[in-house]
Amino acid sequence: MISFTTAFVAATLAVGVLASPAAAPAALTKRNTPNSSGTNNGYFYQFWDDGSSGTTTYTNGPAGEYSVNWQNVGDFTAGKGWSQAEPRNISFSGSVNCEGNFYLAVYTWSTQGENYILEDYGTYNPCSGGTSKGSLYSDGSEYQVCLVDRGNNYLQNWSVRQNKRSSGTVTTANHYNYYQSQGMTHNPLSSAVYQIVSTEGYGSSGSADITVS
């Protein structure tokens, strides 16, 4: 999820490619219970949609595969991974087809904050609305790092890959260690409720098919 300000900018930017811009979601405060989550073929999965507009269809596939199709949505996140966050090496492969605003990320969520290692994205770079924390090099690319304050003491760590991709391996420890070196330790990683390779759509339409391992 992204802040109201960034959402507004993104929605504005997306007007050119959408028949009509998606309605602004109601409350961008802390996320509540995921709409659907559990274990599927040995992986944790979660699917959450703010329900504000459009249609999102999430489908679990074999092993670590999932697919999602969305039309004129408000905001959703979906994906497979693990129910406990750890400094894993996470591989993923597949593709995202979306001309608007989307994120493909190694994503952890907790009631105290979120962490996005962004591998591919669409029309909006979330760090354009954040506090810069420099950059790091990992897994073949530079990542722009920033902290986004969503208010109510809810913070997001962001790594934004410069050389975008939809397949590869993320050495998450490189990111988590860097955040620590920058004092971005608002809440412990151990508080994260899950760690998934998430596809998120925001005010857009598209489809994705991703396999996590």
Ligand X SMILES: *[C@@H]1O[C@H](CO)[C@@H](O)[C@H](O)[C@H]1NC(C)=O
- Residues with a catalytic annotation lie at 114, 200
Using CB under 6 A, pick the residue from 44, 176, 194, 202 that binds ligand X: 176
Contact between 179 and ligand X by CB under 6 A: the answer reads yes
Contact between 200 and ligand X by CB under 6 A: the answer reads no
Tokens of 167: 């397949």
* Residues whose CB is less than 8 angstroms from the CB of residue 199 and which lie 6 or more positions away in sequence, other chains included: 68, 77, 78, 79, 96, 102, 103, 104, 208, 210
Contact between 32 and ligand X by CB under 6 A: the answer reads yes
Contact between 130 and ligand X by CB under 6 A: the answer reads no
Give the count of residues interacting with ligand X (CB under 6 A).
27
Contact between 119 and ligand X by CB under 6 A: the answer reads no
Asked whether the beta carbons of 28 and 55 are under 8 A apart, the reply is: no
Distance separating alpha carbons of residues 104 and 126, to the nearest angstrom: 12
Contact between 171 and ligand X by CB under 6 A: the answer reads yes
Contact between 16 and ligand X by CB under 6 A: the answer reads no
Asked whether the beta carbons of 105 and 208 are under 8 A apart, the reply is: no
* Residues whose CB is less than 8 angstroms from the CB of residue 180 and which lie 6 or more positions away in sequence, other chains included: none
Contact between 155 and ligand X by CB under 6 A: the answer reads yes
Using CB under 6 A, pick the residue from 31, 67, 164, 166 that binds ligand X: 31
Q: How far is the CB of 25 from ligand X (least distance, A)?
A: 8
Report the residue number, 115 or 205, with the smaller CB distance to ligand X: 115
Contact window for ligand X (CB under 6 A) among 5-13, 38-46, 122-130, 152-160: 152-160
Contact between 50 and ligand X by CB under 6 A: the answer reads yes
Contact window for ligand X (CB under 6 A) among 10-18, 59-67, 121-129, 149-157: 149-157
Residue ranges in contact with ligand X by CB under 6 A:
31-32, 35, 48-51, 87-89, 108, 113-115, 155-157, 171, 176, 179-180, 184-189
